[in-house]
Amino acid sequence: MEISIVTLFPRMFEGVFGESIIDRAASRGLITIRIVDLRQFGIGRHRVVDDAPYGGGGGMVLKPEPIAAALESLPERGRVILTTPRGRTFTQKDALRLSREQAITIVCGHYEGVDERVSALFVDEEISVGDYVLTGGEIPAMAITDAVVRLIPGVLGTDSLATGDSHYAGLLEHPHYTRPRVFRGLSVPEVLVSGDHEAIRRWRREKAVERTRKVRPDLLVCRPGDPGDQGHERDTGGNDRC
* Residue positions annotated with a catalytic role: 85, 112, 150, 165
DSSP string, 135-175: SBSHHHHHHHHHHHHTTSTTSSSSTHHHHTSTTTTSSPPPP
Locate all alpha helices (DSSP H) within the chain, ordered by sequence: 12-17, 20-27, 64-72, 92-99, 116-121, 138-149, 160-163, 197-215, 217-222
> What b/e sequence results for 2-27 when a residue is b if at least 16 CB atoms lie within 10 Å of its CB, and e otherwise?
bbbbbbbbbebbeebbeeeebeebbe
- Taking the C-alpha atoms of residue 60 and residue 113, their distance in angstroms, rounded to an integer, is 8
Is residue 107 helix, strand or coil?
A: strand
- Taking the C-alpha atoms of residue 16 and residue 22, their distance in angstroms, rounded to an integer, is 8
- Taking the C-alpha atoms of residue 196 and residue 165, their distance in angstroms, rounded to an integer, is 22
